[in-house]
Amino acid sequence: MSIMMTISIVEIAKQFGVPTLLLVSLFVVLLVWSLFWKGWALWISARKTEKTWFVIFLLVNTVGILEIVYLFLLNKKEPSIGEPN
């Protein structure tokens, strides 16, 4: 027999002495932040046909950290035809 414990946001807020609205707001901001960076990284990796990076971004949740590293440090823009190097 397995016992499943569920903890609500209200219980977590009470445990840490944080207002529930603040905790929910923080969660929503973190969710939007993560979705923005994940979406952008998925878009760029798909356009560059980098399947490995696409799967990593799809499966691993790093709250945007890995996505930001990819976008700004690993993603080197390749010059288009007619652009100087």
pLDDT digits (tens, 9 = 90+) for 44-85: 999 999 999 999 999 988 888 999 999 998 887 665 555 554
Range 24-29 average pLDDT: 90
When the pLDDT of each residue in the chain is averaged and rounded to a whole number, the result is: 84
Distance CA 73, CA 54 (A): 16
| C-alpha 56: how far from chain center | 11
pLDDT at 80: 56
Residue 60 · residue 66 · CB < 8 Å: yes
Confidence check: pLDDT of 25 > 60: yes
1 vs 8: which has the higher pLDDT: 8
